[in-house]
Every structure is written in C-alpha cells, then in structure tokens.
Chains A and B, each alone.
Chain A
C-alpha cells in the first residue's frame, strides 16, 4: 500500500507539469450515477407513499406539475451550467454563483422597473454586457489569484464573494420594499394545452434553457474557443504550448458563467421574491444539479436540474407533511446535494500548484506559557473595561456588556473550527448548526434550572451530531466536504430547527434561567457572565494550544497535508477525522448553549446557514489555524455592529455581511491571515522572542537595496546586486551586457528599436 499511495500523491501533484495520465474510468461513472439516482427514486417513492396528500391525479394537476417543475428546473439548469463551465475550465467552484445571479436580477429590476427601460434593452444590457464584464472583472481581480492558493482559501474567498455580493445588493437596494419583477408578458399572459395552463414566462424560461443547452453544446464541441476551454481542463500548460491564451480562456468562462447566473436570476425573480437572501438561496439550490453532473457533465447537470424542479413541484402538489417538515419542497435540493455528494464517485480533485505548497510559510507554534500570559492579559483588559476604568468606555452600560458577550460567544463558536478546519483541513460551513443543537439541548435539559451541568451536557450531546456529519463525510475532501457541510447546515435550518419539539415558535419569553455556579447567579447579559465567558474562552484557547502540540494535534495536521501519507504512517484516518469532527461539534454545541443563555429565547433564524457564513469567514480572515484568530473574529463581528450603530449612514446598513465578505475576498492578497501578520509584527517586541527579532533583521536586510559605497568594500558583489544596481541606474535593456553572468536585468520582452 505505502509505495503506491505516495506514488499516487506524487503523480497527482505533478499533473500539470508532467504528462496527463489518461482517465479510462469513463464508463462506470454514468452507471453508478444511474444506480444512485434510481436508489434515490426508490426512496422518493417510499416517502411519497407515506405522505400522499390525496390530490387527484388528473391531467391538469400532473401537467401543471410538469410545466412549473420544468420551468423551475430550467432555471436551476441555467445557473448550474454556468457553475460547471467555470469550474471545469478554471478549477474554481464559484460559491458566489447564486449571489451573482441575485445581484444582476436586482440590476435588471433597477433598469426595467425602477427606471422603466424597455425589457429587451434592459435584458440585453444586463445579460450580454454588464454581467459578462462583471465576470471578467472578477476573474482579473480575484479569481486568477486563487489558482495557487490552498483549497480552503479558494473556497473561503468565493464564499466571501457570495456574502459580499449579498452585502452590496442589500446596501444598494435597501430594505424590503416589496420589489417585484413582472413575468415576461405579465401574469395573465398564458395559453392552454390539453387543459394545462402555461404562462408565457414559463414557456420562455424552458425555451431559454433549451437554447442555452444547445449553444453551450455548440460552443464546447464546435467552436475552437470551446475546444480550448475543454483542453484547459486537461492541461492548462499544454493548451498554452498550443498557443491558446489560458487567461483569455478563463476570462471567457467567467464571462459566460456570470451571464448565465444573470439569466437564471432574472428568470427566477418573478417566480420568487426580489429579496437578497431568498434569491441567493434559490440560485444556490442549483449546486445540487451541478453535483448530479459531478461538476463537469453538462447533460447530467441539466438532468439533475429538471429532476429537482419537477420533484419540488411534485412535493408541493401531491404530498403533505407535518408542520415541522413543511419546508420539504424547499429542502429537496439540499437533500439531493447531500446524498449525491456523498454517494457519487467524485471527480478527481485538481492538484494544487506544487510551488504554492513548497513556498508555504510554516507558522511557529505558540506554547502554553505564552498563551496563558496572553489569556491573562485579555482577562485583565476585559475586567478593566467592564469596570469602566478604561477612558474611552461607557461599558458598564448593558449594551456594552451585551456586545462583549456577543464577542466572546462568537469567538467560542469560532474556536470550534480551529482544530477542524485550521488543523485537520476539513472545511465546514455548519458551525452554527451545531451551536443551535447545543443551545436546544441546553434549553431542554437544564435551561429553566440554570444548572451548569447543562452546559457540559450540551457539549457532550452535540458531539454525536458531529459524528453524524463526519461518518458520511469521511470519504469527502475539499470542495465536496464543503458542499456537504453546507447542505447539512441548510438541512438543519429547514427540517430540524423548524420542528415544534425542537424550537417551539409559539413559546415566548426567556427559555433560560440565570446560570448558577457555586452560589453565583449569572444572567446572560450581566458583567459576571462576560467575565466568566472570558475565563472560559481563555481556558479553551490554552487547551487548544496544548492540544495542537499533542499527538492528536500532530495527527490532524499530518492528515491535512496528505491523507494518503498519513495513512502510510499508520494513522487511522477515519478515527482521526471523526475525532476532530466530534471535538468541533462539542465545542460549537457548548458555544451554542452559552449563546442561548445570552439571548434567552431561541428561534429558527438564529442558526441559519447564511447567518453562520460571516462567522466562518471572519475566523478564516484571522487565520483559521490560530486560536487567537477566534478572538480577532469575535472582535470584528462586534466591531461591525458598533460601527453600524455609531454612524447611522445608510451605506453601512449591511455592514455585518459586507464587511466579512470583503475581508474574506481580500484574503487573496494575504493568505496567511491577519493574526499571523499582526503576530509577526508584534513578536519582536516580546522579550523572550529573540528568534522573531533575528527573522525581522534578516527580512530588513534582504529588502534593502545595496548601497553602492558598501559594495565591493565591505561586501562582495553578487549577481543580485548587479541586477539591483543596474535597475537603480536604469541601464536600458539594450545596453545590459547579455553575456555577463547574472547582469542581464531585462525581464520583459524586448524588441529591437525600429
């Protein structure tokens, strides 16, 4: 096993530079695809039989289901095909696809409805000009820098973009003003075939999707540009050797993807609501369709999309579920995504650039002593702040305390991702789902007695939920795991927290009594609670620092670097992976219980997928492998709230999403994370960090241009000095002595003067 496994890794890493190993596993895949889908169908039949609503099966009903379902599926298909085109040609899975579609739907509304432009003009401008331009711009500014970043960052940056787009739209079109986009030819524009009413809008939608399918097919198989797009999938470098400009090909893919997102957004807008979250989520549902096509096959993507659309209509019309499952039709894409991602054989993930791996800076590990000092300092700071002794605070106010509590609770929930994502490399967008589970458990068990044991139980009982997610996810990596976790979080939002037995929407008032610890009573918004949270946070940080240096910490990091290599070292990958999921879930559950205590009353909205994304992003911006990043994340979460509160400008209204989104996108420029940079800057001022001072001195010396006087006298010339000197003296390229060793500084294409 061992030589083969490491060999496979080596080969995978050199894929782009070395020869491409022809993939001959082509035939079995559609077969497995068919098996999985038919298994799903059987499951669907069973569920349907159990919850049959008794709607008469007439031509009208079935026909209506098919027409509405197909038009919905057509929209999923358009959006998902944009996703697939971009993913296959550039290797970037654009989580922002839905948000981009949402954004352009708003722009269309602005032109068509708010400014009264004729529909064809507005459509052409948005779909054919603005959206493609936006896509190219995104590619230039962000996406092409992603190529050499670690996968975790790639995912986070596009999720950041999604959140940022939501923030931009919410800023630009404020409040829910009941905006609507009319269907093409109005609500009443329709005709009837065999007793089934078909609106023009739906017919157009279906035709548009069919046309797009045809055009994509023609582009990819008939046009040279399309052939080049497919060639780039096989080998980017070989395509360049053929003379195809890889950057232009990628830019085209982004233009097409963005345009397709716009089409989907504009078509869905009249059927849904023109509300940022709703529209983004609807278009996200297309992920499931893309997953059916294994992110690369357009025909299967279309099939998945149509299945999804018709399936949703089927549920709406023919099935009836209890109140708690009333969202079933909305949850269908999520269920499909989860099942498909877990069951389908995955396409081989693309190898990341080797050079990026080699160049990655290794961070110095903090030791327990240092972290204890830091945590003690934090506690003193909070103590002073809540005591009102810091000059700039009016913190004794309940508002200030409450914000402090929010900061600490958020930071604790964020901490749960440090071992999971930061060390073990398992991307999860579901921390808030686990937090919600913890909060619910705490509320059920000891919420009204305030016993602190409830907190421990919340952690202990959330842990198995972590295992529940880990077990199917054990095989998954990177993108697929990220999608599964997203589906998991969305599934909890739609099907679990909606259960009356879980969170009773009709129960008002506080569900949590003050916490009593050894005779102390801590209300969820009091100063004592904030101090206690600070202590708890500090203890968790120190615990994590110790854990990172333990056998488990090393195992997780080894697994992140290479699962295959870890396995050859004798590490039980499954056990190791499940362990980190369990730990993370327990921590998040614990944090959720603390959150419950703070807010007093639970409701479904608190644990939504979209609410959780900024939390994940801010942690990653801090530097996901560092416990201190959780504090950074917590501080920033509150900072956005404070800024918004203090300055009442309307452009700040969506800051709590816009801020984290933009910060995450900016990570393409600083992949190490903010805390690492801050830490590097500060470390040399700590008395015991002689190493940091030495590193700093070395860096300064390296960045210094040579001083001419010193060269040759106290220091010998080197090739680099020559280059720098000639650059400084701006010796023209023509005059540079090409034969001289290392002195030809010309790095650009130089043409002979005419």
Chain B
C-alpha cells in the first residue's frame, strides 16, 4: 500500500470516515490474549488521549494500529480501509507514524542518519531535516553525533521529529513522557500541540493524564485490555485520579 492509496481512499470515503477505527479488536502474544475486544476511533484532525495503568494493553493497541501485531479478531480501519494484517512498513508508508515506547531512535546511527530513515515515508530528506531542526534547534547542533550519545530528552526529540516532519496521516505517540524531566515533556507536547492545531490526527498514549490535558480533544481509559470509558479529557482525568493515580 502506498501513500497515494491511503489518500485516495480518504477522498472516496469522504470526511465522515474516522482516520483510525478499531472494532472489537482482539490481539495478544502467542497464546496469551491481551486485548479482549477494543473499540476506538480517532476522527480527522482529532487528538485522542488513551490512558491506562501499566499492562493495560495500550502499547499492544498501538502495535495493532501500526501493523506490528496482527489482530486475531476484529477490524482495524485506516481512513475507511481495512488494514488487518498489513505489514508495519507498508502502514508507515501509508502515513501511520508510531513513535514507540522508550527511545524510538537508532543509537548507532547519527542524528542525520536517523532523520534519513524518516524519508522512507516519502518525504524528501531536505524537508525532513529542515522541519526537524526548525522544531528542535538543539538537534541541528548535534547532527553528526551518534544518536545513542544524545541525552534522553534529545533522543525523544529526535524520535518524535520523525512524526512531526513527515506529515503523517496519523501520529501514534507511546508514553512520550516516560523517564523525562517535566520541562522537556512540556516542550515536547508544545510541539505536538502545534501540530495538532495544524490539523494532524493524533493518538496519544500516556499513563498520567496531566501532561496532555492541554492537547487532547477527547480521552479514553483502557483497563485490562478493553476501553472502559471515553469522554472529555478533564472529566476522564478526574476519574482517573480515583482509579489508579495518587494525586498526579
């Protein structure tokens, strides 16, 4: 599947089709089922925050959306097109951009080479570099450095600059804030917010709601492999406080 396919199907189905739609998705690892029927949708231009405690299945859900994990049942639709079982690189080229948990960088490649990898999405290198360095000027100074030698915050900037510089149809962010100082998290989400304002569709996964309250349009809670609740970010966050957070 190519970029063009996805775009044309969007045109065909019209603006009513959500960018991402999961219906009754079951998936897991080997014999172990982790997702027991997940329903979720992200509308065009919408930012959906998905909260949930450790082990709830958030990463697994993103794995299904990005093609890394094949669902055993249910459907995954991307702009109306069923993409169950599509391979991750094909989905990536079709515009699904997952910034994985941890550090989504290649530690033994330089910053430049990391950005070079982002050009598989079909965007020219000059443009990727220009936009990445514009958003995170700190990366420009370190362009020839091995990514593994960057600080944690810089590594995360590099990771998400792939999402911000390649105009994806759908951006999936997995616990961006993990292990980073609050200030850096704020900076990262500021950039994400700018992209959201420009109309990018985003699914943000976080354990703690605080950092994304300003960015999300809608929020959902995942518990034990199911989406339990969907609603306004503020009310969800408040409910979360009682459910599993301790005053965050």
Report A's interface with B, CB cutoff 8 A.
18-24, 224, 227-228, 230-231, 233-235, 237-246, 355, 358-359, 719, 723, 733, 738-752
A243 neighbours in B (Cβ, 8 Å): 89, 92-93, 120-122
The answer on a CB contact under 8 Å between B108 and A738 is no
State in angstroms the CA–CA spacing of A741 and B25 once bound together.
Answer: 8
Secondary structure type dominating chain B contacts: mixed
Q: Are A751 and B81 in contact (CB under 8 A)?
A: yes
Of B73, B75, B106, which contacts A235 at CB under 8 A? B106
Beta-carbon nearest neighbor of B25 in chain A: A744
Contacting pair B88 A241 (CB below 8 A): yes
Q: Pick from A227, A228, A358 the residue with the most CB of B within 10 Å.
A: A227
Interface string of B93-124 (1 = CB under 8 A from A): 10001101111111111000100111111100
Complex Cα distance, B120 from A733, in Å, reads 30
Within 8 A of A (CB), among B70-88: 70, 73-75, 77, 80-88
- Nearest Cβ on chain A to B238's Cβ, whole angstroms: 30
The CA-CA distance from A19 to B67 in the complex, in Å, is 18
**Interface contact B109-A240, CB-CB below 8 Å:** no
Chain B interface size, as a band, is 35 or more
**Contact flag A355-B30 (CB < 8 Å), given A241-B104, A746-B75:** yes
Which of A21, A224, A227, A719 contacts B73, CB < 8 Å?
A719
Contact status B149-A744, CB under 8 Å: no
Q: Which residue on chain B has the smallest CB distance to residue A356?
A: B30
* Nearest CB of B to A435, in Å: 41
A740: chain B residues within 8 A (beta carbon): 24
**B73 close to A723 (CB less than 8 A):** yes
Most buried by A among B26, B104, B121, B147: B104
Which chain A residue has the least Cβ–Cβ distance from B162?
A242
Which residues of chain B from 16 to 32 have a CB within 8 Å of any chain A CB?
Answer: 23-24, 26, 29-31
Check if B75 sits within 8 Å of A22, measured CB to CB: no
Which residue from A24, A237, A733, A739 sits with its C-beta under 8 Å from B148? A24
State A739–B26 Cα separation when bound (angstroms). Answer: 12
Cβ distance A357 to chain B, nearest Cβ, rounded Å: 10
Known: A238-B100, A738-B74. 19 other contacts (CB 8 A): A20-B102, A22-B147, A24-B149, A227-B117, A239-B117, A241-B66, A242-B118, A244-B89, A244-B120, A245-B87, A723-B73, A738-B23, A738-B82, A742-B24, A743-B73, A744-B73, A747-B85, A752-B13, A752-B81
Q: Tell me the bound Cα distance from A112 to B248 in angstroms.
A: 76
Give min CB distance, B164 to chain A, whole Å.
Answer: 14
- Kindly name the residue among B97, B98, B107 whose own CB sees the greatest number of chain A CB atoms within 10 A: B107
A234 and B89 within 8 A (CB)? no
Residues on the A chain within 8 Å of B89, using CB: 239-246
B180 on interface, CB distance cutoff 8 Å: no
Contact B82 A19 (CB under 8 A): no
**Which residues does chain A contribute within 8 Å of B86, judged by CB atoms?**
749
What 1/0 mask marks residues of chain B from 143 to 160 whose CB sits below 8 Å from any chain A CB? 000011100000100000
B45 CB within 8 Å of chain A: no
Give per-residue flags for B1-44: 1 if the beta carbon is below 8 A from chain A beta carbons, else 0: 10001000100110000000001101001110000010000000
Contact with B107, one of A22, A244, A733, A741 (Cβ below 8 angstroms)? A22
Please name all residues of chain A whose beta carbon is closer than 8 Å to the beta carbon of B118 when the two chains form the complex. Answer: 242
Query: Is A747 within 8 A of B70, CB to CB?
Result: yes
Determine if B135 is an interface residue (Cβ-Cβ < 8 Å). Answer: no
Query: With the chains together, A738 CA to B68 CA distance in Å?
Result: 21
Spell out B's residues near A (CB within 8 Å). 1, 5, 9, 12-13, 23-24, 26, 29-31, 37, 66-68, 70, 73-75, 77, 80-90, 92-93, 97-98, 100-109, 113, 116-122, 147-149, 155, 162
| CB-based contact B23/A237 at 8 Å | no
Cβ of B37: which chain A residues have Cβ within 8 Å of it?
A: 741-742
Q: Which residues of A contact B105 (CB under 8 A)?
A: 20, 238
In the complex, what distance in Å separates the CA atom of A745 from the CA atom of B24?
Answer: 12
State in angstroms the CA–CA spacing of A749 and B93 once bound together: 15
- Cα–Cα distance between A751 and B102 once the two chains are bound (Å): 33
> Contacts A18-B101, A242-B121 given: A234-B108 contact, CB under 8 Å?
yes
- In the assembled complex, the Cα of A244 lies from the Cα of B88 at a distance in Å of 9
> Chain A interface secondary structure, helix, strand, loop or mixed?
loop
- In contact, B109 and A234 (Cβ under 8 angstroms): yes
Q: Are B24 and A739 in contact (CB under 8 A)?
A: yes
* With A22-B107, A746-B75 as contacts: A733 and B92 at CB distance below 8 Å: no
List 16 A–B pairs whose Cβ atoms lie within 8 Å, in order of A's numbering. A20-B105, A22-B103, A227-B117, A231-B106, A233-B108, A234-B107, A237-B88, A240-B92, A241-B68, A241-B98, A742-B74, A744-B24, A744-B84, A749-B81, A749-B84, A751-B5
Return the 3 tightest CB-CB contacts between A and B, nearest first.
A19-B102, A22-B148, A243-B120
Q: Given A24, A228, A733, which contacts B117 in the complex, CB threshold below 8 Å?
A: A228
| B70 proximity list for chain A (CB < 8 A) | 747
CB distance from B226 to the nearest CB of A (A): 12
Q: In the complex, what residues of A have CB within 8 A of residue B92's CB?
A: 240-243
State A745–B85 Cα separation when bound (angstroms).
11
Checking B84, B93, B106, B108 against A748 with a beta-carbon cut-off of 8 angstroms, the contacting residue is B84
- Among A234, A241, A746, the most chain B Cβ lie within 10 Å of the Cβ of A241
A20 B107 Cβ-Cβ under 8 A: yes
User: Residue of B at shortest CB range from A230?
Assistant: B109
Given A738-B74, A739-B24, A740-B24, answer yes or no on A244-B117 (Cβ-Cβ < 8 Å): yes
B148 to chain A minimum Cβ distance, whole angstroms, is: 3
Report the bound CA distance from A746 to B118 in whole Å: 31
A746 to B107 Cα, complex, angstroms: 38
Report the bound CA distance from A230 to B5 in whole Å.
Answer: 29
Contacts of B23 in A (CB 8 A): 738-739, 744
Minimum distance in angstroms from A28 CB to a CB of chain B: 15
Residue of B nearest to A18 (CB): B102
Contacts of B30 in A (CB 8 A): 355, 358-359
Which chain A residue has the least Cβ–Cβ distance from B88?
A: A240
**What is the bound-complex CA distance between A15 and B13, given in angstroms?**
40
* List of B residues within 8 angstroms of A745 by Cβ: 73
Nearest residue in A to B1 (C-beta to C-beta)?
A: A749
Per the bound structure, the CA–CA distance linking A224 and B118 in Å amounts to 10
Asked if A744 and B108 make an inter-chain contact with CB atoms under 8 angstroms apart, the answer reads: no
A744 to B87, CA, bound (A): 19
- B156, chain A: closest CB distance, angstroms: 10
What's the Cα separation between A719 and B73 when bound, in Å? 9
Say how far B222's CB is from chain A's closest CB, in angstroms. Answer: 18
- Residues in B with CB closer than 8 Å to A18 are 101-102
Shortest distance in angstroms between A746's beta carbon and chain B's nearest beta carbon? 6
> What A residues does B84 contact at CB under 8 A?
744, 746-750
Give bound CA distance, A474 to B89, whole Å: 41
A752 and B80 contacting across the interface, CB-CB below 8 Å? yes
A741 and B108 form a contact (CB under 8 A) = no
Are A749 and B100 also in contact (CB < 8 A) when A230-B113, A242-B118 are?
no
If A242-B121, A749-B1, A749-B85 touch, whether A23 touches B148 (CB-CB below 8 Å) is: yes
Name A751's closest neighbour in chain B (CB-CB).
B81
| Cα distance, A666 to B45, chains bound together (Å) | 51
Q: Which residues of A contact B81 (CB under 8 A)?
A: 749-752
Complex contact B87–A240 (CB within 8 A)? yes
Q: Which B residues are in CB contact (< 8 Å) with A23?
A: 107-108, 148
What's the minimum C-beta distance from A701 to chain B, rounded to whole angstroms?
17
Distance of A242 Cα from B80 Cα, bound (Å): 23
B101's contact among A19, A22, A230, by CB below 8 Å, is which? Answer: A19
- How far, in angstroms, from A745 to B74 measured CA to CA in the complex? 8
Which of A22, A224, A235, A723 lies at the interface centre, i.e. has the most chain B CB atoms within 10 A of its CB?
Answer: A22
Bound form: Cα–Cα A719–B36 in Å: 12
Q: Bound state CA distance, A610 and B88, in angstroms?
A: 42
Q: How far is the CA of A23 from the CA of B83 in the complex (A)?
A: 36
Report chain B residues within 8 Å CB of A22.
103, 107, 147-149, 155
Could you say which residues of chain A place their CB within 8 Å of the CB of B74?
738, 742, 744
- CB of A231 within 8 A of CB of B103, answer no
Q: Most B CB atoms within 10 A — which of A238, A719, A738, A745?
A: A238
CB distance from A476 to the nearest CB of B (A): 24
Most buried by A among B5, B12, B24, B147: B24
